[in-house]
Structure 1
């Protein structure tokens, strides 16, 4: 599984990008479990707030597969998702 995170917005408007292949990551099982627990219906509106980040996640089960995309506003991060995005962004 390949997980990509793009963080944008914030006070300075900087963009950060990270990608991780769970097949080669030391904690790949934990990463995959965090992805499986994602429930877009529970992630809030995704609407940005001033000076806060927006996270765009792409999850590809395999390198050639079409990705699933989720957009989450910073204020809507739960502890699992916060860990996941920080882990991928490194």
Structure 2
């Protein structure tokens, strides 16, 4: 996960692994979408906004601390390089 500070706290799954885990746990997949392209664009815009205006008073950096900008850059790079994808899922039990 983008906020993981060590490999031991990062639990990334492929979309198929996530789907299988949800189904094995008894969930029905009601909706599944891939917002990866939108996330790529959002991170580009975020980086540009921070470069121009600095960090806003309230945002992810408040929760994630001083490592936020490095984490955001890594997330953007991973999205751009296709190393990660996003899944937006509605699952019902």
TM-score, scaled to structure 2: 0.33
Structure showing the higher strand proportion among its residues: 1
TM-score, scaled to structure 1: 0.34
Q: Which structure has the larger Rg?
A: 2
